Structure 1
Amino acid sequence: MAEEENALSVTSQPSGIERVVDVRLPTVHGEFLAVGYLDRSCMREQVALVHGDVLGRDALTRVHSECLTGDAFGSMHCECGDQLAAALEVIAAEGAGVLVYVQGHEGRGIGLLAKLKAMRLQSQGLDTVEANLALGLPVDARDYRVAAGILHDLGVRSVRLLSNNPVKREALQHYGVEVSEQIPLLTPPHEENLRYLRTKRERLHHYLPHLDGLAR
């Protein structure tokens, strides 16, 4: 595949997204095709990383919420960066799959500055749910319309979803993406994020069985 951008016929989807460009993206995890989209409802840019042939049913899929602190800075407060790397590794090893990286989902949808404020409240003793509520913000404000639209555009009709979050599965199904299987994406916990992960399991109902038996 040529290094330069491939010519595309731009497509608009009912979800309001427009496919703008695709380009080969070699990574430390493997080679992907980066497919760039524009969400015309809010003029936000989005991207999907595609590995191999994902047309049809049961594509191994990760819908990853933007997390600057975890994904780019390696924050140990959450597991986001570890999950991003693990998902790309699993998709590459599978030989085919897609990762949709959803911008606008920072801090479960409350934004970067609000997330930093929530993290400060957590350092003072609140958990991640209590911190959002103390700021007068939703516990989870994410919407998956764009992610579903991107999957439809890529020709993905059903997914094997890499996620611990039952809400994500329900949200994709709400937008017409069949989830044939939900596959846990478990990363090793550590001292800095253990309380955060326990809150996600106990209050947000994430599937995190690897926390069982760990000392509090």
Structure 2
Amino acid sequence: MTVSFVESSKLPTPWGIFEMHGFEDRENNKEHVVLTMGLVDSGEPVLARIHSECLTGDALFSLRCDCGAQLQAAMHRISLEGRGVIFYLRQEGRGIGLLNKIKAYHLQDRGADTVEANEALGFGADLRDYSILKPMLEHLHIGKIKLMTNNPRKVKALQELGVDVVERLSHERGRNPHNVKYLATKKGKLGHLLDGDDDDES
């Protein structure tokens, strides 16, 4: 595996002070970040979120998706518990990259859903690779987690890496009039477990 730890530092946020751990993926020329709060290597299950980079949602406040709201809610939830981890993976647009994501948005503006747009550009519906998590988990000595996700694929990927997912916690946040079709596609075509509730903690 080409992912290796680089350095750690404090990261003060509105939800408290996290420890930020940098990892370098030399094979794919990507830099990933893991945020931790509290003692995560005790052997007890850790509250966790696997979050793929979404510049438009995380930093530009886009309402086309639910990504920014999910990230903020995860940070808030961890701060309330005082202990947890967020894996922030540089896999923009489910792995297609930022500029291709903008192209996909253009197709969505013309009526395509998010899966149809990716496929029209010659990509799979979801190209994310979760195997890069293994060296991060090993570095942090995390073996058991309570995963905040609506995506069964993330649970399966972690289990295949030998991680004990002791609980899946529903993580529906950010539903709004602009992303109704997007969320319906995630549920209908990508198998996400969504029931329409949005208990906003952020």
Task: Check whether TM > 0.5.
Answer: yes
1:57 to 36, 44, 52: 44
2:3 paired with 1:17? yes
TM-score by length of 1: 0.87
Structure 1: give runs of 5+ residues left out of the alignment: 1-14
Structure 2: distance between partners of 1:72 and 1:114: 18
- Residue 210 of structure 1 aligns to a residue whose secondary structure is coil
Structure 2: distance between partners of 1:183 and 1:83: 12
Between Structure 1 and Structure 2, how many residues are aligned? Answer: 197
Preserved contact between residue 2 and residue 26 of structure 2 (Cα < 8 Å):
yes
Q: Give the structure 1 partner of residue 109 of structure 2.
A: 123
- Residue 88 of structure 1 aligns to a residue whose secondary structure is helix
- Residue 196 of structure 2 aligns to a residue whose secondary structure is helix
- Give the letter for the 1:191 counterpart: P
Q: Give the structure 1 partner of residue 18 of structure 2.
A: 32
TM-score by length of 2: 0.93
Extract structure 1 runs of 4+ deviating beyond 4 A: none
Q: Give the structure 1 partner of residue 118 of structure 2.
A: 132
Structure 1: distance between partners of 2:31 and 2:152: 26
Aligned Cα root-mean-square deviation (Å): 1.4
| Superposed displacement of residue 128, structure 1 | 0.7
2:166 paired with 1:195? no
Q: Give the structure 1 partner of residue 31 of structure 2.
A: 45
1:149-164 maps to which residues of 2 (within 5 A)? 149-164=135-150
Q: Give the structure 1 partner of residue 57 of structure 2.
A: 70
Preserved contact between residue 161 and residue 181 of structure 1 (Cα < 8 Å):
yes
| Superposed displacement of residue 49, structure 1 | 0.5
Preserved contact between residue 21 and residue 35 of structure 1 (Cα < 8 Å):
yes
- Highest Rg: 1 or 2? 1
Structure 2: give runs of 5+ residues left out of the alignment: none
Structure 2: distance between partners of 1:87 and 1:197: 18
- Give the letter for the 2:86 counterpart: L
Q: Percent identity?
A: 46
| Superposed displacement of residue 211, structure 1 | 5.7
1:77-96 maps to which residues of 2 (within 5 A)? 77-96=64-83
The superposition leaves residues 157-209 of structure 1 with CA deviations (integer Å, 9 ceiling, x where unpaired) of 11111110001111122222221111111114111011100110111111111
Structure 2: distance between partners of 1:148 and 1:93: 27
Structure 2: distance between partners of 1:59 and 1:132: 33
Q: Give the structure 1 partner of residue 130 of structure 2.
A: 144
Greater RCO between the two (CA within 8 Å, min separation 6)? Answer: 2
